[in-house]
Chains A and B, each alone.
Chain A
Amino acid sequence: MNFTPDIRLFTCHYASQQSCAEGGTVLRGLNFPANITLTRLVCTGRLEETDLLKAFEDGADGVYVVGCPTDSCHNVKGSQRAAKRVASVQKALAELDVEPERLRMYHLERGLHPEFIAAGEEMDALIRRLGPSPFCRKAA
């Protein structure tokens, strides 16, 4: 099946600081998947569960969050709060009989580094394997 997933990435200012340099051209040059839409937040602790759910409502096939390492978040507990909210939405997805792994949390060091690219490639591969979002069925 020819399927290019729509993947939304929410990442904090710090984890994505260098990644977004020069309008993201550096990122693309490193083969960061083009089907990932990146939204920067001041802190992933600012992320609400509704933001994650809205991404799915808007047609995302997969969503992931990149925040600071849990023990070195710039805002102390921001990325821990984000991880809790991701876990809560994963639980709700499971209740709806949808693969919880369509939503993931990553804790990465700040700056542009191979792990940031690898997380994107991992999500891309995962969502391609899972297929299109089950929320995108055409309504009767």
Chain B
Amino acid sequence: MIVAERKPLAEILKMVQGCKRILVLACKGCVTVCSAGGEREAEILASLVRLGLQKEGTNAEVNTASLVRQCDKEYIDSLDQYKGQYDAILSTACGVGVNFIANLRPTEHVYPALNTTFFGGSAEQGIWKEMCAGCGHCVLHFTGGLCPVARCAKSLMNGPCGGSVNGRCEINAETDCVWQMIYDRMGRLERQQELTASAPIRDWSTAGHGGPRKRVREDLTV
């Protein structure tokens, strides 16, 4: 899922300064699962925005709504029901959702309530970890399913750097060295020999270095 976290309240309040009618728009997708921008978090944020504005001596009507997803046109179209009712939409979706609204609602103000952080999973309740960088050229079949692009601080492709100490990363001692994990796991799978092969120089154009990416499925377009 896409993992995100709420922006500092001061930053959010500055965005909506002067707005008299604000719609805090939740997303029921990834940000609900990572407890950053679902209906519950939108209600909390709406309350905090009201309190923040009250403290500054201003008042605004701050309501909440939610969409199944903010990354599909058909759901964004349902915002028609709020047309003219709000000065600003404060989206608690990831950056994709904010972009979708901005693209599809050319005359409406939309602001991001979250910082979109990474693709990850819930390691345990309340803790999410980055697992994928969306680089567009998956190498997990070579590395026992553990991603060196996302989980190595240097995205190294041919084993650990000299900073790997006792299985930990030199950039952050709390982070496991993914290359140590790969080595250990490949050993358990009796595939360690495969790691002696050199990974070729990567083509990073699939990772967004060639500009924004787009995928077309001719069989699905109509």
Interface positions of A (Cβ within 8 A of B)? 48-50, 53-54, 56-57, 92, 95-98, 134-140
Contacts and interface: CB of A to CB of B under 8 A. Distances in A.
* Main DSSP-derived SS at the A contact region: helix
13 contacts: A49-B44, A50-B40, A50-B44, A53-B44, A53-B47, A56-B51, A57-B54, A92-B9, A92-B48, A134-B55, A135-B54, A135-B55, A137-B55
B59 interface: yes
Nearest to B50: A57
Interface of B: 8-10, 40, 43-44, 47-48, 50-52, 54-59
Contacts of B10: 95
For the residues of B in contact with A, the DSSP-based class is: helix
A134 B55 CA distance: 6
B139 to A, nearest CB: 39
B44 A138 contact: no
Contacts of B54: 57, 135-137, 139
B44 A139 contact: no
A97 B44 CA distance: 17
Given A135-B54, A137-B54, A139-B54, A96 B59 contact: no
A56 B51 CA distance: 8
Contact of B58 (A57, A136, A139): A139
